[in-house]
Chain A
Amino acid sequence: MSTITQDSAPLPSSAPIVKLTAQVRSWKIPITFGAFAIASVLLFVGLGRGQRGELSTFRLSEARDFIQLPEVALPTFVTGVVVAIVLVLMAVASAWLVYRHRKIPIVLTIVFALLFLIGFLAWAASGSTIPVPGLLIGTVTLSAPLIFGALGGVLSERAGVVNVAIEAQLLAGAFSSAVVASATGNPYLGLLAAMVAGALVSMVLAAFALKYLVDQVIVGVVLNVLVIGLTSFLYSQVLAPSANLNSPDVFPRLNIPLLSEIPIIGPVLFRQTIIVYVMYVAVALVFFGLFRTKWGLRVRAVGEHPQAADTVGINVNRTRFIAVTLGGVVSGFGGAYFTLGAVGAFNKEMTNGMGFIALAAVIFGQWHPIKATLAALLFGFATNLQNVLGIIGSPVPSEFMLMLPYVVTIFAVAGFVGRSRAPAADGKPYIK
């Protein structure tokens, strides 16, 4: 009771107002840095790979490039030792920064990651050549469905509807684009069909989540199972017996004049299929739509605080329905990559868990379209790195290379990103 009487005293205290800040030390980043630094010392120095003076060559240009860059050859062992020393120093520096209650600049993290990557590539490519453009081209190509899926997830979750059904949207898009493109002989109609299929899956998700108030995670999981079952059933019953329903034309790679001749960037970004070009536009559009338009403000409002949005006259459920459906359109388009962009035929469960990785990219990217895209690119890079190293002969068993992206993600989620915050009303139906 005494505190209350003090608080309600009419005169404010004359003491100066002191801003108190909680001194919280997070050792996550130094610990993660330390783990990677120790790993690099063990790998690059401890194993002694390339001690007989082998060179690691990085090829920066493709044979048909207009501007030819010279190959960069690094002595494997020396590079490894230098990188390991620098990484250890950076880990110590980060620990010192945390000890002194300073913030660790994001640049430090980026440089650390890049250095580790260079050291690893040099170590793995001892005595052989790494085609850098090839590595990056594959990264962009393999990331395309992940990025579309992640964008679809971001759109839906920003509006407050958890989208576990990305896998279903991708698979539905892959199936319908293959069937429609084969039946009509027009791959562009296939793309349209993929968008429609993704939107349909999303509408089911939205209807059950918004009208029948079913737990959104449940609907998402069930939709995944449902679409896997449906497409597999139809594949065995309809597509497998008559091959002419499952042989769509694959989109060719289109070279954009001039831009595709820029060293490194050109081949990587501007010698891709139309699906990848649409992806660039989609990333920009989703970012612009969500953060620079009135509609995006409404979507985010509905996802963060639906009651407040409702109070100012926004129709919560309609906004959510539209956002979720749009998300399905984007994800479904990404599904077309599997059939029209890569394989050229539909197969049972051909998305193979990509939808879940896209979901991980959404969370890893903190529900932000650009960050989610970067997260998806990381997965694509790691997958393609394993492919490339498999061709030039990797010193580590291929299983561990395959494992790498997932282990890195766990470290990243636990160390760098930490507690990622979902939109406040994510997964909660709004009842007036």
Chain B
Amino acid sequence: MSDTTAAAPAPGPDPVPGAVKKDGSERWTQALRDITGGSAMISVLAVVLALVVGAVLIAFTNDRVQETAGYFFSRPTDLVGAVWEAVAGAYSALFQGSIYNFRAPNFFNAIRPLTETLTFATPLIAAGLGVGLAFRVGMFNIGGRGQMLIAAGAAGWVAFAVELPAGIHLIVAIVAGLLGGAIWGGIVGLLKARTGAHEVIVTIMLNFVALYLIQFLLRTPGALQAPGSNNPKTPPMAATAVFPELFGPRYNLHAGFLTVIAATIFVWWLLSRSNLGFQFRAVGQNPSAARVAGINVKNVYLYAMAISGALVGLAGINQVLGTVTTGFGAGIDAGIGFDAITVALLGRSKPWGIFAAGILFGAFKAGGFAMQAAEGVPIDIVVVVQALIVLFIAAPPLVRAIFHLPTPGTTKGPEIRDVKTRKTNEVVAK
């Protein structure tokens, strides 16, 4: 559109539809239609719908609700009250556990849940960026678990076994982890490029290979196992290699969050501003066309998977150098590699979209633990709500149908009017 506005100063009436002047009411209705039918509204409504379904589940499985439902016809208000209590209790615990705790004695304690949210969001965003990047190149990276484990193993080993001055140590550990993730992802890209092996199979298989490899290293003295211990667990990370806390010891939020912001900016730059990113998107749109246009598709697969693996690896690094610094076991990935797929889908594979989606899912995770502790609602409900959000967002027609929203681009839409006004303009010009 910037081109058309640049061309606007040309003499005579402007035939470009974007520059057609509209009266106030028309612009208002279009804006309204854009908001109600647009993707932002769909996202909000999808969240609402998912929360409603979650509420139904919470209510149905609540003991008090089941009890009051038994004598519904004699005292229906009891049931309504019980439902309200169960749902409101759960969701207010979810909110207070993820954003702002009203019961806290002062502001610094009250805001603590928000920092927890960001802490949980950190690895989700990193891994989501990796999965999203692969999606943009038309590949499905289910190998988050393996890439995270290898990266965590590499970064963790540097962090506890190597002695380096503070600062440099952290950087070396991060680089080691990124390399680990990049290699584990790069294998997939290499096999796909050279032999045509399907990336879905290879990533799934490499997940298991990485898991067993890390399990082996964790119980082998001299590798990852803590000296003098029989547990499959590493020693604690050296203080020189741990992400510093961002807001002091009161909060868990660590500098890993900054690396994730940097990663988001990097992916945005890579995809929107760089030559390589252009090739990535071209291959993602149509590999055959990209090949004809002179892009080396095989190299693109290799680079994309290596970068994707490194980004997912950043999630593993954040886990071992930021969240769990007291030593880790084979469960360090905590299912983030799979959660990242939903994060990437929710963020529509766009860097800042993934950033926002990661924070939302981080909030659900932080709040989910609080909800489980306070109200006894299993945290699994959060997984259900997350899945429903992605499902609804992916199907705008369904959400529009449920809420009776107008479809953008229907016959009554403003586009037709634009054509009419343009025609009259042209007639006037003659």
A residues in contact (CB < 8 Å) with B: 28, 208, 212-215, 217-219, 221-223, 225-226, 228-230, 232-234, 236-238, 348, 353, 356-357, 359-360, 363-364, 397, 399-400, 402-403, 406-407, 409-410, 413-415, 417-420
Instruction: Give the distance to chain A from B61, nearest Cβ to Cβ, in Å.
Output: 4
Q: A406 to B205, Cβ gap below 8 A?
A: yes
Q: Which residue from chain B places its CB closest to the CB of A357 in the assembled complex? A: B204
- Give the contacting residue for A208; candidates B341, B345, B394; CB below 8 A: B394
Q: A406 to B345, Cβ gap below 8 A?
A: no
Task: Describe B's contact surface by its main secondary structure.
Answer: helix
B340-381: which have CB < 8 Å to A?
Answer: 341-342, 345, 378, 380-381
Q: Does B49 contact A (CB under 8 A)?
A: no
Given A212-B395, A359-B204, A413-B202: A221 and B216 interface contact (C-beta under 8 Å)? no
Q: Which residues of B contact A417 (CB under 8 A)?
A: 197
- Give the contacting residue for A403; candidates B61, B195, B208; CB below 8 A: B208
Instruction: Give the distance to chain B from A418, nearest Cβ to Cβ, in Å.
Output: 5
With A226-B388, A364-B201 given, can you name 15 additional A-B contacts, CB distance below 8 Å?
A28-B195, A208-B391, A214-B395, A221-B345, A225-B390, A226-B383, A226-B391, A229-B384, A238-B61, A360-B200, A406-B209, A410-B202, A414-B202, A419-B195, A420-B196
Docked complex Cα distance between A25 and B380 (Å): 53
Instruction: Give the distance to chain B from A232, nearest Cβ to Cβ, in Å.
Output: 4
Q: Which residues of A contact B191 (CB under 8 A)?
A: 410, 413-414
Count, chain B residues at interface, CB 8 A: 42
Instruction: Give the distance to chain A from B190, nearest Cβ to Cβ, in Å.
Output: 9
Docked complex Cα distance between A403 and B202 (Å): 13
Docked complex Cα distance between A413 and B196 (Å): 8
Instruction: Give the distance to chain A from B42, nearest Cβ to Cβ, in Å.
Output: 12
B185-224: which have CB < 8 Å to A?
Answer: 191, 194-198, 200-202, 204-209, 212-213, 215-216
Q: B195 to A225, Cβ gap below 8 A?
A: no
Docked complex Cα distance between A221 and B135 (Å): 13
Q: A403 to B394, Cβ gap below 8 A?
A: no
Docked complex Cα distance between A419 and B194 (Å): 10
Q: B383 to A228, Cβ gap below 8 A?
A: yes
Given A414-B195, A420-B198: A225 and B215 interface contact (C-beta under 8 Å)? no
Given A219-B394, A360-B200, A399-B216: A226 and B384 interface contact (C-beta under 8 Å)? yes
Docked complex Cα distance between A219 and B394 (Å): 8
Indicate with 1 or 0, residue by residue over B381-417, a CB within 8 angstroms of chain A CB atoms.
1111011101100110110000000000000000000
Q: B213 to A403, Cβ gap below 8 A?
A: yes
Q: Which residues of A contact B176 (CB under 8 A)?
A: none
Q: Which residue from chain B places its CB closest to the CB of A421 in the assembled complex? A: B196
Q: Which residues of B contact A419 (CB under 8 A)?
A: 195-196
* Count: A-B pairs, CB below 8 Å: 136
Q: Does B140 contact A (CB under 8 A)?
A: yes
Instruction: Give the distance to chain B from A112, nearest Cβ to Cβ, in Å.
Output: 18
Q: Which residue from chain B places its CB closest to the CB of A361 in the assembled complex? A: B201
Given A214-B395, A222-B387, A410-B205: A233 and B212 interface contact (C-beta under 8 Å)? no
Q: Does B161 contact A (CB under 8 A)?
A: no
Q: Does B251 contact A (CB under 8 A)?
A: no
Given A214-B394, A225-B383, A237-B378: A413 and B342 interface contact (C-beta under 8 Å)? no
Q: A232 to B338, Cβ gap below 8 A?
A: no
Q: B197 to A410, Cβ gap below 8 A?
A: yes
30 contacts between A and B (CB under 8 A): A208-B391, A208-B398, A212-B397, A217-B140, A221-B341, A221-B345, A222-B387, A223-B387, A225-B342, A228-B383, A229-B384, A230-B57, A233-B380, A233-B383, A236-B380, A237-B61, A238-B61, A356-B204, A359-B204, A360-B201, A360-B204, A363-B201, A400-B212, A406-B205, A406-B206, A413-B201, A413-B205, A414-B195, A420-B196, A420-B198
Docked complex Cα distance between A357 and B205 (Å): 8
Among B197, B209, B338, B384, residue most surrounded by chain A Cβ atoms (within 10 Å) = B197
Q: A356 to B142, Cβ gap below 8 A?
A: yes
Docked complex Cα distance between A363 and B202 (Å): 11
Given A222-B342, A399-B213: A208 and B395 interface contact (C-beta under 8 Å)? yes
Q: Which residues of B contact A221 (CB under 8 A)?
A: 341-342, 345
Docked complex Cα distance between A19 and B305 (Å): 40
Instruction: Give the distance to chain B from A132, nearest Cβ to Cβ, in Å.
Output: 25
Docked complex Cα distance between A409 and B208 (Å): 11
Q: B394 to A222, Cβ gap below 8 A?
A: yes
Instruction: Give the distance to chain A from B247, nearest Cβ to Cβ, in Å.
Output: 32
Docked complex Cα distance between A408 and B345 (Å): 31
Given A229-B384, A410-B202: A218 and B345 interface contact (C-beta under 8 Å)? yes
Docked complex Cα distance between A218 and B348 (Å): 10
Instruction: Give the distance to chain B from A154, nearest Cβ to Cβ, in Å.
Output: 15
Q: B216 to A397, Cβ gap below 8 A?
A: yes
Instruction: Give the distance to chain B from A36, nearest Cβ to Cβ, in Å.
Output: 16
Docked complex Cα distance between A397 and B219 (Å): 11
Docked complex Cα distance between A418 and B195 (Å): 6
Indicate with 1 or 0, residue by residue over B241-263, a CB within 8 angstroms of chain A CB atoms.
00000000000000000000000
Instruction: Give the distance to chain A from B173, nearest Cβ to Cβ, in Å.
Output: 25
Q: Which residues of A contact B345 (CB under 8 A)?
A: 218, 221-222
Q: Which residue from chain B places its CB closest to the CB of A221 in the assembled complex? A: B341
B254-312: which have CB < 8 Å to A?
Answer: none
Q: Which residues of A contact B390 (CB under 8 A)?
A: 218, 222, 225
- Give the contacting residue for B212; candidates A232, A236, A403; CB below 8 A: A403
Indicate with 1 or 0, residue by residue over B56-71, a CB within 8 angstroms of chain A CB atoms.
0100010000000000
Q: B197 to A413, Cβ gap below 8 A?
A: yes
Docked complex Cα distance between A263 and B395 (Å): 56
Q: Which residues of A contact B57 (CB under 8 A)?
A: 230, 233
Instruction: Give the distance to chain A from B385, nearest Cβ to Cβ, in Å.
Output: 8
Instruction: Give the distance to chain A from B358, nearest Cβ to Cβ, in Å.
Output: 15
Instruction: Give the distance to chain A from B207, nearest Cβ to Cβ, in Å.
Output: 8
Q: Which residues of B contact A226 (CB under 8 A)?
A: 383-384, 387-388, 391
- Give the contacting residue for A215; candidates B382, B383, B386, B394; CB below 8 A: B394
Q: Which residues of B contact A212 (CB under 8 A)?
A: 394-395, 397-398
Q: Which residue from chain A places its CB closest to the CB of B208 in the assembled complex? A: A406
Give 5 nearest A-B pairs by CB, closest first: A229-B383, A419-B196, A226-B387, A399-B216, A229-B384
Instruction: Give the distance to chain B from A210, nearest Cβ to Cβ, in Å.
Output: 12
Given A364-B201, A414-B197: A229 and B381 interface contact (C-beta under 8 Å)? yes
Q: Which residues of A contact B386 (CB under 8 A)?
A: 225, 229
Docked complex Cα distance between A356 and B337 (Å): 14
Docked complex Cα distance between A28 and B191 (Å): 11
